[in-house]
Structure 1
């Protein structure tokens, strides 16, 4: 009888959360459009932070601001229990919005929410509003983390430093995903997002007149040789069953058509899922740079900056997210999305506590929302907002009731 009563009570709360999200659907869209039209770059999210605080004030949810931007809030349930954290990022990108016909087009030249963080913030705010409605029944605490500077791969690490995961038992986050159909949810155990690192290789040769190459060490030749050879690090020194990407995205070399270049600077990125592969590629980059330089008598210097860690979903947390999504929206909502080589600094939360990171589909060609993230025409199918908001709230409720 007790189990039946408990199950019925949980079902009532599940229904209450679903009804609340449905009731707030128009408000949810309005919030997202407001945030979309007022984008702020990493570490500049002052107005977004202020808006979040005003919204939380209206709900009576206590919070503290983090420095320089960001908010950590808590909904303390009426019953004792554990603490689960829900995270939403807030920053936009230095990208020009190309669809100028949108009613909510970016008001800031050269800035737009080209990745969906406006949606994440909106969904978490409305999820908080739904959870306030069942606060008395919550057995524990829901911490709300509104994070700056995800695009700079630094915000999550700073939020952790400022106490975002202190006392937290589990953490859950999500990302709107234009490569998946609207409403679909993916959250598989194991790798989800790759580590994302930046490298810079500087070659120094000996410049001179273009008519006298015998007196020079041509940095353009050295750099070109490096770019042509460096791909073999992945293709010939990493096991085929391991995933890795090494991309050279920028090369700066030369000053004039008839001057042999003395210096060359190459910038690129490394993405992978395995920590040992990451270490190996970093070592090999230095080795390749030195060896290529030595062939031509040049000098080489490698600067390697580690960005985000790989996002590895803890198994129990990922399976919980799947159960919650299936219970809330039906079993056919689950989607098998391959891990992406994109980076996500949610990884720093997972270094602190167990958790998982879900993808919520928002791609709909009929609404022109299938564009890639970071593209100037990126947009979302706003029907996905309610899916994300409910997933946030239902995950917190499910975790605290286990």
Structure 2
């Protein structure tokens, strides 16, 4: 199942792959602003002889046909950075853009998939089928994958595979469970309206701060008292804006939060309950409520056949101990939109190494990766494509 030419190509080009990652890390671009990154990717792929086209405004899609006819497998990497200020002051390739940082590993994903593309080109004539390379913008705002799908990224594709570097797992470990992997990730906004007035005369007012506070305290019972405790779900209020002055009773309060779960029926239930709780809480105090519920990513549900193939590839490429049993995360990933269209799976590749200080949480200003993990990720991309097409 493992192609030794691919393995050697990844090893031979690992220094170049790391150089690319460091270049991208020092030049981060936010969601829908990945113009320089996508231009670099496009030029690199075309330099390998891979036919490419640009998705609007900043995506890149490449495809090559192997020496014989067969199925088509797609490999996906995301390219965008975050509006996070980098705190790795001593890093030689730290972000050159204040307030922008690759704090989630997308620089590594892009470099790994470019290395995988180069390795697969080396065995192109032996491949029965085609490989599609998807370099996606705007994963961090959960809109990039849907845009890529609408522009034909997975048209004609039989299977899709993606990877995320994971600082919570030891370097070189690979996790890919069949079933739920990442949760659906939604946003809700609640506007409470009361009646403002003088802080010394509460009897003449309806305090929106009290309404909002009561909602925040009580809404957790949606999870704890209306959902089966064996079904994971999270409701988090992350932002609350209320009031204008210390001696003025607030007329308006704005809340924003997120909902995470794996089951679509529970997702529907929570959306309904948030509206009920908000409206009834406001009514108790004489105010009103308006709830906006914005559906973000779907849950990432790995197909059993694909996930099992990932595990087989990992064992044969990296050894029996390489497969790691990482539990599903309540984090969100818009890779789900590809899985809505075609079968596939999404793997995690560990990059956590205490000795290299790379165990910081994703989205933290100190986030960094153990670059030794990149060879594992790049080879997993390429060997998965080889295994899928030749199995």
Q: TM over 0.5: same fold?
A: yes
1:185-334 paired onto structure 2 within 5 Å:
185-334=174-323
Partner of 1:4: none
Whole-Å Cα distance in 1 between the matches of residues 76 and 179 of structure 2? 19
1:366 matched to 2:355? The reply is yes
Partner of 1:397: 386
Whole-Å Cα distance in 1 between the matches of residues 97 and 64 of structure 2? 34
1:112-127 paired onto structure 2 within 5 Å:
112-127=101-116
The SS at the match of 1:128 is: helix
Whole-Å Cα distance in 2 between the matches of residues 133 and 325 of structure 1? 21
Whole-Å Cα distance in 2 between the matches of residues 359 and 56 of structure 1? 24
Whole-Å Cα distance in 1 between the matches of residues 327 and 361 of structure 2? 16
- How far residue 306 of structure 1 moved from its aligned partner, in angstroms, is 0.3
How many residue pairs are counted as aligned between the two chains? 391
* Structure 1 segments unaligned to the other structure (5+ residues): 1-9
1:107 matched to 2:96? The reply is yes
Give a deviation string over 1:291-349, Cα, whole Å, max 9, x none. Answer: 00110010000000000000000000000000011110011000000000000000000
Whole-Å Cα distance in 1 between the matches of residues 94 and 214 of structure 2? 45
TM-score (norm 2): 0.99
Partner of 2:340: 351
1:164-179 paired onto structure 2 within 5 Å:
164-179=153-168
Whole-Å Cα distance in 1 between the matches of residues 45 and 270 of structure 2? 45
Whole-Å Cα distance in 2 between the matches of residues 75 and 372 of structure 1? 36
Give a deviation string over 1:241-300, Cα, whole Å, max 9, x none. Answer: 100000000100000111000000010000000000000000000000010011001000
- How far residue 57 of structure 1 moved from its aligned partner, in angstroms, is 2.0
The SS at the match of 1:295 is: helix
- How far residue 168 of structure 1 moved from its aligned partner, in angstroms, is 0.3
Whole-Å Cα distance in 2 between the matches of residues 257 and 135 of structure 1? 69
The SS at the match of 1:150 is: coil
TM-score (norm 1): 0.97
Give a deviation string over 1:143-189, Cα, whole Å, max 9, x none. Answer: 00000000010000000000001000000001000000000000000
* Structure 2 segments unaligned to the other structure (5+ residues): none
Dislocated runs of 4+, deviation >6 Å: none
Whole-Å Cα distance in 2 between the matches of residues 106 and 18 of structure 1? 31
